[in-house]
Structure 1
Amino acid sequence: MTGARVELLPVAPEGTTPVGVMTVAGSDSGGGAGIQADLRTFALLGLHGCVAVTAVTVQNSLGVSGFQEIEPDTVAAQIRCVADDIGIGAVKTGMLASAPIIDAVAAQCRASGIGRDAAVPLVVDPVCASMHGNQLLADSALDTLRDNLFPLATVVSPNLDEVRLITGIDVVDAATQRDAAKALHDLGPSWALVKGGHLRSSDESPDLLYDGSEFVELTHERIDTPHDHGAGDTLAAAITCALAHGYTVPDAVAFAKAWVTRGLAAAYPLGAGHGPVNPLWRVGDCG
């Protein structure tokens, strides 16, 4: 897979304005996930990245040891000022930290024309479980996520631990993956994506998309690496970039899956724990 070709997105000619996208997420002081992973993906795919910071985390390769939330009004103001001036082709959310921040983001998305029935697509990566499966959002915030943000989403992209927290379904095989996709779609997004990277019963990495009537199966080889920090952020960021270029959701997810698989193949160790997915292969290898 290391040398596999990934079809890339169009890049704006020099001196012209690239397509703009936004991440609404937390900062990762270790640089492996969060807004750092999002901006890295945006830049390497040729898009202009904007940011609404929701929280500042204290973390390294071993995990998160603390975080400070940003005031909800400030989070919303970041979205508003960018949308009003620069414009946004698509938006993704990551770590939203609390129910008040989720409420503020949902309200501002509606006001700024962001979401499934608006001009600007919204990718919701519902960061509510750590890579070790620990719950990161209070139950009240999970309710707010389901009730206020999921109905605005063009696509939601939880990992399997997040699927279990959100729907109560423990995905262990293809049948339960379909059940989970249906349960997620019932919460209101246009498309539900149930990622299979953590489905260790499969020799491959099977992702499943569902729009209420059609299942789309997307499978890539499973990359054997312990260095997968930021994989979910990178996938959602790449989906966001493709949607901003007018891709359909299935095509955007297929593109993003190929991108993150290539990044996993190039992942590197960092510190004493988990290293990050590595889209930096793009710097010296255009395909």
Structure 2
Amino acid sequence: MGVVIEFKDVTYSYPLTTVPAIKNVNFAIEQGKFYGIIGENGSGKTTLCSLIRGFAPSFFKGELEGQVLIDGKPTVEYSEGDLALRIGYVFQNPFNQISGVKETVFEEVAFGLENFGVPVDEIEARVNAVMKLTKIEHLAEKNPFELSGGQQQRAALASIIVLEPDIIVIDEPTSQLDPEGTESVFEIIAAMKEAKKTVILVEHKVDLIAEYADEVFVFSNGELIRSGAKQDVLTDISLMEHGVQLPQMAILGDKLIQRGLKLDYIPITEQQAKDVIGKLISREA
């Protein structure tokens, strides 16, 4: 798979600040993979998303050192329209994503396509398809501001997916949702993974990262302190010293090993825990 996003010695500071929000960051993101971004609050995760999308420094201003490259080209050399078509961005609070100028969910989802001059027939077909995918067809005539939090987040995802971007950046989409809303949103994210989109997800619910991600980046105090395959990163118990949450199953597995049980590996998902503990029981039976 080819590299679609690359950070080269990136340091970024917001205006009127003395401490960089992101410091000396280097990594490459490959096409079609799902990346989970984790770390304590204030570690630089949202800034990372803003840099990928080009909001920093173009909108937020500030000072950028190094290069953020999309398909080998610095983000500062892209027009806003080009980046908007290439990279979809879903905000933490869906309320901030709603345009406020459309009266129905259908019109809201279609808004971006209208701005890009897509023919009316194509708009209707694409909006209907994405509303079916995100399970919001029954909300088509509702006012976007009358939806629940989970419904608003699905509508926000639909308004991005309908643009058919190759890269989707999602910043803590479930932070304000209950378990049912979280599940509905992750069904959509799973569909994006199935469609081989490049997904970059910031999420505090690390058990969901363990379930869906291919690779994980860990940030602390603006620095990338660990990256790699999820199985390697999410079983690194030392990360907890940096305030990083790890999957419950990984913590359980580590405690079992400390008590002398010979697990084949440290699990990171519930299914892995069932498998590895089941094998242990079978051996000792």
Shorter-chain TM-score category?
Answer: 0.3 to 0.5
TM-score by length of 1: 0.33
Q: Of the two structures, which has the highest relative contact order with CA contacts closer than 8 Å and spacing of 6 or more?
A: 2
Q: State TM-score, norm by structure 2.
A: 0.33
Which protein is bigger by CA-based radius of gyration?
2
**Larger proportion of helix:** 2
